[in-house]
Amino acid sequence: MKLLLLLALCLGATTATAQLTDSFADGNFTQNPAWTGDATSFQINPAQQLQTNGPAVTGAEVQLVTPCAAITGTTWEFWTNLKLATSGGNYADVWLMADAADLKATGTKGYFVRLGGTPDEVALFRQDATGSPVYVINGQDATLSSAANNLVRVRVTRTTQNVWTLERDLTGGTTYTLEGSATDATHQRSAYFGVYATYSSANNRGFYFDDFRVTDAAAPLLLRAAAPSARQLTLTFNEAVAASQSAGNYRLAGGGGPAVAAAARDAADPTLVHLTLAADLPLGSVTVEARNVADGFGNVAAGPLTATFQNNGFAVTPALNQLLITEILADETPSVGLPASEFVEIHNPSATAVLDLAGVRLLKQGSTGNPAVFPAGAVLLPGEYAVVCGSTRTAQFAGYGKVFGLTNFPSLTNSGDQLVLRGKDGRTLFEVSYSDAWYRDARKKEGGWTLELIDPANPCGGPENWQASQDASGGTPGRANSVRATNPDRTAPVLLRALALNPTTVRLYFGEKLDSAAAATPALYTLMPAAAITRAAPVGPDFRLVDLTLATPLTPNQPVAVTVQRFLDCVGNASGPVTSVTFALPVPVAAGDVVINEILFNPRSGGVDFVEVLNRSGKYLDVQGWQVGSERAGGALDAEVVSSTSVLLPPGGLLAFTTSLSVLQSQYPASINPANVLQVPALPTLPDDAGVVVLLDAQARPLDRVAYSEKQHLRLLDDVNGVSLERIRATGPSEAGNFHSAAGSAGYATPGRPNSQQQADPTGSDVLTLAPELFTPDDDGQQDFTTLSYQLDAPGYVGSVTIYDAQGRLARQLVRNETLGTKGFWQWDGLTDRGQKAAVGYYVLLIELFKPSGGQQQQYRKTVVVGARF
């Protein structure tokens, strides 16, 4: 009574409609179909039945399996006879579905019929990855109660709705008795069908199996559809479908969606079909239809089978400026209304794109610590804002919408920092170098208020596109900024300066962020004298710098003009046709090459000190490592490095060092040149009454030294706070007589600009030169003092200068018995010995020169006019 043994559902079927009919009549179980496992523990007996023949050992376990993918809409039938008394150690399991070939292994999942066991029953079980088997249908106890002949034929069905039915016939025929029904949809995958037996030593040959039949007569069902990307659909069926798939069997319902360009069954999971679309999926509800889809056995679902899903867009990896930092709370105290916790706000400015943030890193540029990394699954929807804070602060911002609490969230410096968002591939997505000057509000700068981005469409903007929040709570985390407005960047980029980092590398400095791709074209740049450029490399993360690699090394101290033909900023503004700056490979500095040119040691309220230096040599110098020091009593020096990076100081160049460029700009808006001002982390403390400033090179060797005093200021000034002392003559000595208060008409200080009181050295060979011969001591920056210059034939003279009015009365003892060099000068500020402004009129300067070594004595007279402006 051999029956059809294994239908075409089992893997290995040669065609979609064929059935495998192995009745063991061929005397083996190794082919058609092939059973594997404990092959030596089974045999085909003379009755052409599969019989156990394992070792006669109590507790033995033997198994055979054959590939089979039966799932739902399936009927399983088999015949068996257990010629033994079943018990807890003597039973058989027929696995209808198994996801692995080893039925003995922990972790194998599926369903099986147990024959025997302690209850002597026929029952259906489910086996999960862990734990003991679970009843699906608990059969009647004592069904298999014979000590030597437990004959039974079993039929199990599973509908496409996952309803299981268990039936048996104890005569071995097909007049079935229902054991029960149940619904169970736990396992939806199968790879194997198999038999398993465990027995005591006397029963090693007591299990007989025959007439296995697995029938799938149900057409496949479409369970669901999903879109892994804009042009991909994945359809999930309830069972394996035919290997060959046609795009013509699938379409999007409604007729308005993109066509299906290709269809293919998944290589690993035969229940999946992947569709490739000719265009992007539409947003919203999408329904996909399947027609005439066959399973692996020729059962065809005429259809249409449908599945609907919601397309809310597809998360994409953000590119440059597609993910923005739009708000920063660096100084959280005193709290105005926001949580007293640092945070930044991120924003997706796109109207359609969902951003995949997984692996995106937030970090402070230059920090050596681990960055804050967004976790897998983190997304930002179109137009959405989110708060980013430390992992322990998430609860504080829960009421503000989406929050990402990240481990290693960077500590934000109140005064300013450079924050960078990098993609998981390391590319820069966004950069901002904020400063507390961006608040534009002294009160809000003190804490509790956020900095907000004004125009998200201008992501490259700097201070002009940020300001303090105007919201009463101090900020707008999780929503549009209170200062949001149209603020486009229409300014073309500017080449500020160039510096030779080494003989074959030139760094260009630009005034704003560049289009990094466009800036990487070597043909945009030329050098004169000509030198070949082999590479142009924009420097991240802000791309304000471009490094040029030269084919041949530069000659030290030789001026070179670099010209940029055309370049773009990061929003597409183009520069003019030609922009050029001059640089040179710097050479070592020597004492006297650079002098202290201007000192502000007693700033206004809220102001800052500055020290300006002048390169009076013909050398191109690099100030990297230079120090500014304040000399204390006893000669101790408190010094600070003014530049840890290379900064070129050309011949005649000025450079002012200060701790806050923004403060200097606010207090001296008309007299500062920011391009020649270098903001430094710190300056030594400069006493307001008197002190000594020292300039040192990178090896701490003195370059210049100036002693200053508030008494050097023009005594006509009512308030000297905020008034700098300026060097008068570049080539003159670094002494008090060569410094004068900056002119009021110049704003009382000229950081980065030529001094308001500077004078050129006199020309000619006269022993004494007086200029101007008419001066107006009113601190307007025009002829505020007169200068008496001398040129002597030899050193060793002693000089005195006495000033008399037109009536011969003593007005000022300007110089008394001063030892002179061969060249120098004295200045008269128009004040008398009493500290009063001299009256308008003529004055006579009596100059007496005496040379002690030879006894020579000479007298000279010069006339000068003290005037006044009306």
Please tell me whether residues 69 and 154 are part of one structural domain. yes
Please list, in sequence order, all residues whose beta carbon lies within 8 angstroms of the beta carbon of residue 488, skipping any fewer than 6 positions away: 455, 457, 458, 571
Please tell me whether residues 306 and 227 are part of one structural domain. yes
Residue 786 structural domain: 768-866
Tell me how far apart the alpha carbons of residues 523 and 520 are, in angstroms, rounded to a whole number. 9
Please tell me whether residues 735 and 794 are part of one structural domain. no
Please tell me whether residues 308 and 320 are part of one structural domain. no
Please tell me whether residues 349 and 212 are part of one structural domain. no
Query: Which conformational region is residue 646 in: left (phi greater than 0), alpha (psi within -120 to 50 degrees), or beta?
Result: beta
Helix H or strand E segment including 135: strand 134-137
Q: Of the candidates 216, 235, 258, which is a domain's last residue?
A: 216
Please tell me whether residues 308 and 241 are part of one structural domain. yes
Please tell me whether residues 48 and 180 are part of one structural domain. yes
Domain assignment present for 481: no
Residue 273: CATH number of its domain: 2.60.40.1220
Nearest to 594 by CA among 646, 641, 638, 652: 652
Are the C-beta atoms of 430 and 543 separated by less than 8 Å?
no
**Mean pLDDT per segment of 10 residues, for the chain of length 870 residues?**
42 37 81 92 94 96 91 91 96 96 96 97 97 96 96 95 96 96 93 95 96 88 90 91 93 86 93 93 90 88 90 85 97 96 97 91 87 93 96 96 96 94 93 93 95 95 94 96 93 88 93 88 93 93 93 96 86 77 95 96 95 96 96 90 92 95 92 93 94 96 96 86 94 90 88 90 80 88 87 86 91 90 88 90 92 81 87
- Per-residue DSSP letters for 610-674? EEEEEE-SS--EE-TT-EEEEEPGGG-EEEEES-SS--EE-TT-EEEEES-HHHHHHHSTTT--G
Please tell me whether residues 249 and 325 are part of one structural domain. no
Domain assignment present for 14: no
Tokens 């949001």 label which residue?
Answer: 484
Q: Of the candidates 312, 346, 373, which is a domain's last residue?
A: 312
Per-residue DSSP letter, 757 = T
Instruction: Please give the pLDDT value at position 577.
Output: 65
Domain assignment present for 760: no
Domain assignment present for 17: no
Quote the number of domains for the chain.
Answer: 6
Are the C-beta atoms of 650 and 641 separated by less than 8 Å?
no
Residue type, 421: L
Domain assignment present for 482: no
Give the dihedral sign, CA 809/813/817/823: negative
Tell me how far apart the alpha carbons of residues 746 and 600 are, in angstroms, rounded to a whole number. 14
Domain assignment present for 485: no
| Model confidence, pTM | 0.56
Please tell me whether residues 304 and 322 are part of one structural domain. no
Please tell me whether residues 421 and 524 are part of one structural domain. no
Please tell me whether residues 40 and 169 are part of one structural domain. yes
Per-residue DSSP letter, 814 = E
Domain assignment present for 3: no
Residue 799: CATH number of its domain: 2.60.40.4070
Q: Of the candidates 312, 329, 353, which is a domain's last residue?
A: 312
Instruction: Please give the pLDDT value at position 21.
Output: 62
Phi, psi (deg, nearest 5) at residue 554: -75, 155
- Strand 533-539 relative to strand 545-550: parallel, antiparallel, unpaired? antiparallel
Domain assignment present for 16: no
Please tell me whether residues 635 and 679 are part of one structural domain. yes
Residue 620: CATH number of its domain: 2.60.40.1260
